[in-house]
Amino acid sequence: MKFRYYRDMEKKGLKKLVFASNNKHKLAEARAILGDKFEVVSLEEIGCHDEIPETAETLEGNALIKARWVKDKYGFDCFADDTGLMVEALDGAPGVYSARYAGEHCTFADNVNKMLREMSGKENRKAYFATVIALILNGQTYTFEGKVDGYIATEPHGEGGFGYDPIFIAEESGRSFAEMSSEEKNAISHRGRAVRKLADFLSK
C-alpha cells in the first residue's frame, strides 16, 4: 500500500512527509497548516500499525522515540510530536501523561472530567499547552517547540476541538479552543506554532 500511495503523490508533484501519528485530529491540524506544499502521510498510510511506546519523561523524548521508530523500522524520514498540558496548581501535571491522565484507555471526556475534579476549588488556574516536534531528515534530527498560555475553565465551553480544548482558555483570545474554528485555533495553538516552525525550516 505504501508504495502505491507514494507513486500517486509523486504524480501530483507534492513533497511527502510522514507524520508518526494516526490521530485524525492531529493529522487534520498538520495538514491544514502545511497546506498544499506538503502531503502529510499518516502511519496507517505507510503500513505502520505498531503501538509505539512513549516512555520518556519529556515531550521531546517521546517525540524522538516515535520519529526514530518510524525511521528505523520503515525507513522513512518523518516527524513526530508529543503534546502536554501543564497546570501550575498541579505542579505541571498532567504533562507527558496528558493523553492518558485518567487511565490507559481513557476518553477525552474522562480526562476533562478528571481535570475539573482535580482543579475544583483552586484559585490558581494558570496552565499552558506545549508541543514538541521531532524531525528526522537526511540523517539529521531537529526539534521545534510551540507553546500557548492560558488557564483551566471551571466547566466546558464549546463543541469543537478535541482533548482538553473545551476547558483550556487561551490567554490571547479569552475563549476555549473548542469555541474556535480550526483556522482560529491553528493560528495561536501550541501545535500550530510548532508545525509552522517545521514548515519554515522545510521551506528553506
SS3 content of the chain, % helix, strand, coil (to 5): 40, 25, 35
Left, alpha or beta for 88 (phi > 0: left; psi -120 to 50: alpha)?
Answer: alpha
82 catalytic residue (yes or no): yes
In 3D space, the residue among 43, 52, 178 whose CA is nearest the CA of residue 108 turns out to be 178
Residue 174 class from Cβ within 10 Å (0-12 exposed, 13-18 middle, 19+ buried)?
A: exposed
Catalytic residue selected from 50, 82, 91, 149: 82
- Tell me the catalytic residues: 82
